[in-house]
A and B are shown apart, each in its own frame.
Chain A
């Protein structure tokens, strides 16, 4: 049996982390291929429900990343996001959804190397934790129905 390859979804902001991840590529730094990047205008735009949707679709881990505090393109989107993540993370934890599988980070447009490091360590951590099926299982019945 081949080794388990985690599926990671990364929700990143357009102005910092997306540009940072671009820099990782243009700097020719290699990093894990497991990370699928989804670009948002701002971390403030990342609806908390999207994280659950990713888990429902079979993601094993999630990265949420944006501009460092005080660097938001829209001045305060990341500050609002930070409050929301503190709240959401505490709620998920209370519900028994594995918060070790969600990595929050600040990666600026200049931090190509940091992005590679975040992506690689997240993939490694999730590889150790194994596939995440708890949440995906609850969505199975609906998917079957949709196919009929």
Chain B
């Protein structure tokens, strides 16, 4: 960790960046996002396996951008989000310094976004075994039972939009749910709106989601909404091939292959 602190402090010292976005211990001794602006403040930086918040979410926030050029502490999920943001023209080369952390906790330096992309090609998105099992279990339910299962899970949702706020890829300044002339998706805490909100969230992230689980960790009710994204990742990779953030290729759902295969269109 000393390496990370030293690197961050030297970047601030040299005024190469004006803020370091990283993890630090909060008041309850739990890791939280911190924004360090002085070299001395870098002492607070830390990283361990409890640091699961996706910091990439701050890169597109206006109030953070105002602080100046950032350096960001970036474990694998953050690196994936960064590459996806680059692919969507939300970040350009030179906008930020990436302090990568490899799965063993070692500090990584990248010369360009391309370098991150090629690093990620060795660290593909893999859905964990326990989730694969859960998805399989849900898929094997009879259709009515499956609907009842989701109705029960989604009914308590009160649409606090923490899932949206935590997601680095939900950066639209005006979300579809705010379209209210006419009200497109009912915003009341009610099943129809809840279902439509989560369907829309999953659809708008289809082909873009980098499986960081930030939505699930942010949910105050612990609703496993990330299962929707994971199930789509699985199905999309089966239908359209290699899944994962790529700078060199267009997004999966904003492109097509004339030979796309399906079995249900007559």
Contact = CB atoms under 8 A, between A and B. Distances in A.
Interface of A: 48-49, 52, 56, 69-70, 76, 79-80, 82-99, 103-106, 118, 134-135, 138-139, 141-142
Q: Of residues A49, A80, A95, A134, which shows the largest number of chain B Cβ atoms within 10 Å of its Cβ?
A: A95
B33 interface: no
Contact of A49 (B141, B145, B200, B231): B200
B131 interface: no
Interface in B92-149: 135, 138-139, 141, 143-149
Contacts of A82: 256, 260, 262, 265
A70 B207 contact: no
A120 B258 CA distance: 29
Contacts of B256: 76, 79-80, 82-83
A78 B145 CA distance: 33
Interface in B211-266: 228, 231-232, 235-236, 239-240, 252-258, 260, 262, 264-266
18 contacts: A48-B203, A49-B196, A49-B199, A52-B196, A80-B254, A83-B255, A85-B262, A86-B262, A90-B236, A91-B228, A94-B139, A94-B146, A94-B232, A95-B150, A96-B150, A98-B143, A139-B192, A141-B192
A79 B264 contact: no
Contacts of A83: 240, 252-253, 255-256, 260
Contacts of B252: 83
B61 to A, nearest CB: 27
A96 B253 contact: no
A90 B235 contact: yes
A100 to B, nearest CB: 8
Q: Of residues A104, A105, A139, which shows the largest number of chain B Cβ atoms within 10 Å of its Cβ?
A: A139
A146 to B, nearest CB: 10
Interface stretch (B24-32, B69-77, B182-190): B182-190
Contacts of A104: 264-266
Contacts of B228: 91, 94-95
Q: Is the interface of B mostly helix, strand, loop or mixed?
A: helix
Interface of B: 135, 138-139, 141, 143-151, 184-186, 188, 190-193, 195-196, 199-200, 202-203, 206-207, 228, 231-232, 235-236, 239-240, 252-258, 260, 262, 264-266
A90 B231 contact: yes
Contacts of B236: 87, 90
B232 A87 contact: yes
Nearest to B154: A95
Nearest to A51: B199
Given A86-B239, A88-B203, A104-B265, A56 B147 contact: no
Nearest to B184: A49
A79 B203 contact: no
A73 B147 CA distance: 37
Nearest to B252: A83
A52 B266 contact: no
Given A91-B199, A104-B264, A134 B253 contact: no
A94 B138 contact: yes
B147 A142 contact: no
Q: Of residues A86, A99, A141, which shows the largest number of chain B Cβ atoms within 10 Å of its Cβ?
A: A86
A96 B145 contact: yes
B34 to A, nearest CB: 36
B190 A79 contact: no
Contacts of A80: 254, 256
A91 B138 contact: no
B265 A96 contact: no
B181 to A, nearest CB: 16
A91 B204 CA distance: 12
A49 B138 CA distance: 23
- 6 A-B pairs with the lowest CB-CB distances in the bound complex, closest first: A96-B146, A96-B147, A79-B256, A90-B235, A104-B265, A138-B191
